[in-house]
Amino acid sequence: MTDVLLPLNPCEVLKQTRQNGKQAIKGEHRKLFAQTIQHSIDFEQVAQKWRVKAQLKRVDYLVQSKRKKGWAAVEVHQAKASDVIQKKIDSKNILDKHCPSMSQAINDWFVCIEGDIHHTHKRKINDAGIQTVRNLLTKL
């Protein structure tokens, strides 16, 4: 097992839902991700298996790239700052509870903005440690 997969060891659900490459990413979102993605996890599917409360917001994907160490959490979303920030908070809390090793392995948080974003929303998102991007073709 490679080092990048070690955070999944104590987490059976993450091991079961991990896919090679971009396979866990929905078809309409795959074009936003670089070909360097080695592993992907549909975090919504994980949350369902963990029976996470529906009112908790969460990011769309956890991905790992050949170009970077660790994992990245990714949301594909129109950027309303409060929603994006809450998704990071709730996702981190979910991972802290169910798989702390994966929570610690996430080095980057991204939101792929599909439309326009007001500069104040972008600043709030960036201040929360989330990078705003149009796609992840060069970031991962």
The number of folded domains in the chain is: 1
Question: In the chain, count of helices (H) and strands (E)?
Answer: 6, 6
Does residue 80 lie in a domain region? yes
Average pLDDT, the chain: 91
Residue 127 confidence class, pLDDT cut points 50, 70, 90: very high
What's the pLDDT at 46?
A: 95
Does residue 99 lie in a domain region? yes
Does residue 114 lie in a domain region? yes
Does residue 139 lie in a domain region? no
Torsion angle of the four alpha carbons 19, 25, 31, 36, in this order, in degrees rounded to the nearest 10:
-30
Pairing of strands 61-65, 106-113: unpaired
Domain extent, residue 78, equals: 3-133
User: Is the pLDDT reported for residue 79 higher than 70?
Assistant: no
**Higher pLDDT residue, 1 or 54?**
54
The percentage of the chain sitting over the pLDDT mark of 90, rounded to a whole number, equals 71
Does residue 9 lie in a domain region? yes
Does residue 138 lie in a domain region? no
| 10-29 mean pLDDT | 94
